[in-house]
Amino acid sequence: MQAGKWMPEAEHEAGEGPQRSRINRCSLLPPLFDGCFFFLHGSFMSPSKDELTKLLREGAGQLLRRKPKPDSDVTQTLSAAAYHAPPGSDQALCTQYIIFDPQGPHRLAVVRRGKVWSAPSTWIISCITAFRLLPVQEPQTSV
C-alpha cells in the first residue's frame, strides 16, 4: 500500500515452498498431498480441525472417516502412491497418516507400520511451507 502499486510477492515469501508450488501448478503436476490419506485424531487448537481439513483438501489429500488399521491386509495392500514423496524415502512407502495435535489432550501412540504413520499437525504445515513431503520426525520424549 505504501508503494501505491502491486509489488512482487516473491520478495515476501518464506522459503522455497511458494515458488515450488507455482512451478508445480504451471507444469500441471498433482497437488502436494495427491495420493495421501489423512485421519484427524482428536481435537485441534491451532490450526483448528476445520483449517486443517481445508488445507488438506486444497492439496488433494483424501480425508478418512475412520482411523486406518496398520495391521489390516486391506490397508497394507492399497496401491495408492504419494506423488510428491521423494523416491527411496520413508514417505514413498506411506500413504495413510493419522494426524494429531501435539499440544492437544488426545495422546496417540506412535504409529509407523507399513503404509500407516502418525504425524503431528505441525508436520502438515511444514510440508506446505516447503511444498514437499518432509520426513516425519520421531516425537521427542522427556526423560
Q: Which amino acid is at 60?
A: A
- pLDDT for residue 140 is more than 60: no
pLDDT tens, residue by residue, 14-59: 677 888 888 899 999 999 999 999 999 999 998 999 999 999 999 9
pLDDT tens, residue by residue, 4-16: 887 777 677 767 7
Claim: this prediction has a pTM higher than 0.85: no
Using CA atoms, how far residue 128 sits from 14, 61, 69, 125, 132, in Å, is 11, 12, 26, 5, 7
pLDDT tens, residue by residue, 51-80: 999 999 999 999 999 999 888 877 777 777
Contact criterion met (CB below 8 Å) for 101 and 45 = yes
Structurally, at CATH architecture level, domain 32-130 sits in: 3-Layer(aba) Sandwich (3.40)
Pairing, β 116-120 against β 112-113: antiparallel
- What would the grid cell of residue 95 be? 500413504
**What CA dihedral angle connects 30, 51, 126 and 66, to 10 degrees?**
-70
- What would the grid cell of residue 48 be? 483448528
